[in-house]
Amino acid sequence: MSTKLRITLLILMVASFTFGFAGLVLPNQTALLETPRAGEFQFQRLHIFLFNLVAGGTVLLWFTEGKNKLSQLAAAYLALSLVFSLAAFLDQYGLAILLAIVLVVIVESIRIQRFSFFPFDFFTLKISVAKKFHHAALLCLSLGLLISAGVMLNNQYLHLLDFLNLLLDDFFLGFSFPLSLMTFAVIFALMKEPNNQRIRVLQEASFWIVTLGVIIFFVFIILGIFTAELIISLILLGDVLLVFYLFQRNIGDLEQDQFLTSGMVFLTFTGITGILILLWGKYVPQQQAGGWDLLYQIHAYLSLYGWNLSGLAVIIRYNEFPLRLHDIEIILLHWFTITLLAPLGNIYPAFAMLAIPAFTILLVMIFFGKGRAHIAAEKRSPSLVSRPFWRLKG
């Protein structure tokens, strides 16, 4: 990845992280997942969109094309997704709808070039699970953009459907899912080839449970069916544990293991806190909602900046391993920032003032850290650090 692109992504991610604390200093800010009042700009949209849609989507397209620099199409996606995020933030829904459609065309053109228009490879055992997850990530990015355009068109102009649980601010899940799927793709790409049919079947099952499970979960959220949401949440948590088992059983001795193991632990706690949020919202009286808010903040940070960032760290540096970075130091800083400083920072400004520089330092270490092996490789042959990406298996 070029230095210019690394700096651009770092700035976007730090800005996204910072906007998460906007409610502490700016007036008239509603909490995440509440409907903004008239004339109120919802900074949570930038908090979510800049990280998942802009930075995460750009990394997904860049990785798919396998080039050091962004292609013209991927660069157009980066620019237009940023404008889309700003338009949605400023309530300029007509412009946002138009841009969403243009972004779908860009993503689809890259997806079709890399894979195919119809995802036939989902239904054959000849294609690796890693490649299926990669294809699904691109497809879900397109669908997320398309659905967001439909939501804005319905809620702002047509008013044909009255879904109280389907708002633009609910696309925390919709725009984080493609990046999550891409992380799964990398996890399965790094695994050894299955040595028996049982493992292959479990890998295939994990793919379908994740992809279909999250889509079904999203539908149940819209419909507000608590029991169904809880059942799907438990199934998804079980699938996360299944992938964790498969990963630890088949990863081998790779440096990426430490980053991705940390990410899987983040994802496991994300699943647990998600279930607790459902139970809390159902059974705890509304006057005790303060604890729910903190629990939701922990859940959101575990997912957005825990699990997804762990995957991004490996994807961005994918071609440069083994780096021999001080992994444990990065991982401990990651956990300290995301599980403690960031959630408390939404309640106490002093923690926010600590969380922002800590997160910035973490990103600098991830984007620009050079371990002993990497420095030695640069001295031997500078071209080694800029060669084309390894293709995913299958």
From 131-140, 228-237, 243-252, 384-393, the region with the lowest mean pLDDT: 384-393
Structure confidence at residue 335 (pLDDT): 95
Residue 222 contacts residue 166 (beta carbons within 8 Å): yes
pLDDT of res. 71: 92
Question: What confidence category does residue 165 fall into, taking pLDDT thresholds of 50, 70 and 90?
Answer: low
Residue 207 has pLDDT above 70, yes or no: yes
For range 70-91, the mean pLDDT: 93
Phi-psi region of 97 (alpha: psi -120 to 50; beta: other; left: phi over 0): alpha
pLDDT score for 385: 37
For residue 322, the model assigns a pLDDT of 60
Band of pLDDT at residue 325, cut at 50, 70 and 90: low
pLDDT in tens, 125-162: 889 999 999 999 999 999 999 988 998 898 888 888 77
Angstrom distance (rounded) from CA 71 to CA 5: 12
Which residue reads 């053109």 in tokens?
109
Long-range contacts of the stretch 380-384 (C-beta < 8 A, 24+): none
How many Cα atoms are found within 13 Å in the side-chain-facing hemisphere of 81?
31
Is residue 269 predicted with pLDDT exceeding 80? yes
d(CA 11, CA 70): 17
Mean of pLDDT values over 11-24 = 89
**Do the beta carbons of residue 318 and residue 63 sit within 8 Å?**
yes
The pLDDT value given to residue 381: 42
Q: Give residue 377's pLDDT.
A: 45
One-letter amino acid of 261: T
State the Cα–Cα distance between residues 172 and 21, nearest whole angstrom.
16
Q: Which residue has the tokens 């780096």?
A: 323
Domain residues of the chain, as ranges?
3-26+39-386
pLDDT at 46: 83
Q: Are the C-beta atoms of residues 56 and 68 closer than 8 Å to each other?
A: no
- As a whole number, the mean pLDDT across the chain is 83
CATH level 3 topology of 3-26+39-386: Cytochrome C Oxidase; Chain A (1.20.210)
Question: Which of 105, 83, 104 has the alpha carbon at shortest distance from 95?
Answer: 83
The answer for residues whose C-beta is within 8 angstroms of residue 108's C-beta and 6 or more apart is 142
Average pLDDT over residues 251-260: 75
For 214-228, the pLDDT digits (tens) are 888 878 877 878 899
pLDDT at 113 over 60: yes
Most confident of 74-83, 182-191, 248-257: 74-83
Contacts of 331 (CB under 8 A, 6+ apart): 258, 259, 262
DSSP state of 29: P
CA distance 282 to 144: 28
The structure tokens listed for 3 are: 């230095």
CA distance 18 to 170: 20
**86 three-state secondary structure:** helix
Q: What is the structure's pLDDT at 390?
A: 38
What is the model's pLDDT at position 166? 66
d(CA 87, CA 18): 19
312: enclosing H helix or E strand: helix 308-316
More confident of the two residues 365 and 377:
365
d(CA 267, CA 240): 7
Q: Residues of 305-337 as b/e, b for ≥16 C-beta within 10 angstroms? A: bbbbbbbbbbbbbbbbbebebebeebbebbeeb
pTM (whole model) above 0.85:
yes
Helices (H), 90-225: 93-114, 129-153, 171-190, 197-223
SS3 269: helix
Indicate if the pLDDT at residue 376 is higher than 60.
no
State the pLDDT at residue 170: 60
Q: Give yes or no for a contact between 304 and 263, defined as CB atoms under 8 angstroms apart.
A: no
Region 167-180: what's the mean pLDDT?
A: 74
* Cα 298 to Cα 366: distance, rounded to the nearest angstrom: 22
Q: In this model, does residue 388 exceed pLDDT 70?
A: no
What is the amino acid identity at position 119? P
Q: Which two tokens stand for residue 195?
A: 């040595």
Residues 145-182 as b or e (16 or more Cβ within 10 Å = b): bbbbbebbbebeeeeeeeeeebbbbbbbbbbbbbbbbb
Mean pLDDT, to the nearest integer, of 288-307? 81
Q: Where does the pLDDT of residue 323 fall: very low under 50, low under 70, confident under 90, or very high at 90 and above?
A: low
